[in-house]
Structure 1
Amino acid sequence: MLPATSPVSTVGRMERRNRRDNARTAVDAPAPPSAEVARDRLWAQDVRSSIRCAAVLLALLLLIDWGVGTLSAPRATLWAALAVLLFLVLYPTRVSAGEGWLVSRGLLRARLVRTDHLVSVRCLDGVGQRLVLRDTFGARVEIDPRVLVANPPLWRRLDEDARLSALRSTLSCGETALHRVSERIDRETALTVFKVSGLE
């Protein structure tokens, strides 16, 4: 008579559990250390711009209220809350990338995608264009293509890893989106060269 739980089924369950744990670790783990990490060099400037916009809005609202004689503590609190809300909306995500990974950090959370195991790269058009990266572990990151245009080292890191994903046959779609970003970066680089050389 066979026991209720056979050794074969127990081993199978353990292997499946280990695979799930490994996939979860790959998605949730922080970015691995790397000697060459590319970062958004304009992020601090964008944060300062967000602070300035929120401060200008607050100053204007307080000035208008004071000018018409309706300024009070509750109204000042409301205007301050609106300024904070504007700052939160404008706060830029901080993008950094190393060999095989890319991280997008917001105020509340960070998202990591394995760029050497990409499944798809899609370009979402709308009010603000977004580049959506997905990996084989189910992780998903959205970034602004302008970050890649303004930071060539970030783009080179992503491009190299995307090519590796294509060689591994994990990247099923995304060549068109990457080609569009590449063309945009080449165009911006050419314009910069013309400006510096005075040919524009």
Structure 2
Amino acid sequence: MHDPTPAPAGADGHEDVLWHPEARAAVVIGTAFFVAALLVDAVGPGVTMARTAGWGCLAAVLVLVLFPPRISLAPGRLVVRGLFTTTDIHTDQLSALQRPADVSERVVLTDVRSFRAQLDFCLLRANPSLWLQLEADARESRRCGSLVRGTACLDGLARRMDEEAARSVFRASGID
């Protein structure tokens, strides 16, 4: 059975390499909004404590909306840490792997305990080690028989990731 505490990424774990830049960008954008609002107030109606507090609250909400979830994957476990929630998915016991029929580039993972997580395809493309571990765990789920919905989706994702990798190699070598 799995340990209920979130698994840290380490020698056998993988973390989203884009999390730090995206988190920093969220804070920078919120701060820039706050500073711009204060500058507009200074030129216009004047800076007051109430208006400053209001702009500060709006800037904080902007940071909260833009702040990305922190994703780490160890063999058999995907941990998605939001600002207020943590979701732990047993990736070696997946029951479904789906891509919604909308325009989003998301993959929805559901484990046998009915816990769900959504991953953006861009996240998988930017983190090849995370994708390889997720694919290995999903194939283990298929082998064990727990993955009842999503084998075609898994094969399609693997094909797409291979195509993306080939494109990046061609681009890097100038064959593009």
Q: TM-score, normalised by structure 1?
A: 0.78
Partner residue in 1 for 2:135: 159
Q: Which region of structure 1 is more displaced relative to structure 2, 145-154 or 169-178? A: 169-178
Shift of 1:144: 2.0
Secondary structure at the residue paired with 1:113? strand
Greater helix content: 1
**Deviation per CA, 1:96-150, whole angstroms, max 9, x where unpaired?**
1111111111122211011111000122355754322111122222222221111
Letter in 1 for 2:4: A
Partner residue in 1 for 2:27: 51
Let me know the Cα RMSD of the aligned residues.
2.2
Q: Show the 5 A alignment for 1:117-196.
A: 117-124=93-100, 126=102, 128-196=104-172
Contact 1:118 1:133 in 2 (8 A): yes
Seen in structure 2, the aligned counterparts of structure 1 residues 179 and 56 have a Cα distance that, compared at 3 Å, is farther
Compare CA radii of gyration and give the structure with the larger one: 1
Secondary structure at the residue paired with 1:131? strand
1:164 and 1:120 mapped to 2: Cα distance? 13
Q: Percent identity?
A: 34
Contact 2:7 2:79 in 1 (8 A): no
Give 5+ residue unaligned stretches, structure 2: none
Count of residue pairs the alignment pairs up: 175
Secondary structure at the residue paired with 2:113? coil
Q: Which region of structure 1 is more displaced relative to structure 2, 111-120 or 182-191? A: 182-191
Shift of 1:68: 1.2
2:108 and 2:157 mapped to 1: Cα distance? 12
Give 5+ residue unaligned stretches, structure 1: 1-21
1:72 and 1:126 mapped to 2: Cα distance? 45
Letter in 2 for 1:192: S
Contact 1:149 1:184 in 2 (8 A): no
Seen in structure 2, the aligned counterparts of structure 1 residues 191 and 66 have a Cα distance that, compared at 3 Å, is farther
Seen in structure 2, the aligned counterparts of structure 1 residues 51 and 99 have a Cα distance that, compared at 3 Å, is same
2:77 and 2:160 mapped to 1: Cα distance? 23
- Residue 99 of structure 1 is aligned with which of 69, 75, 83? 75
Shift of 1:32: 5.0
Shift of 1:176: 3.4
Contact 2:14 2:73 in 1 (8 A): yes
Q: TM-score, normalised by structure 2?
A: 0.87
Letter in 2 for 1:86: L
Secondary structure at the residue paired with 1:153? helix
Contact 1:54 1:87 in 2 (8 A): yes
1:116 and 1:197 mapped to 2: Cα distance? 36
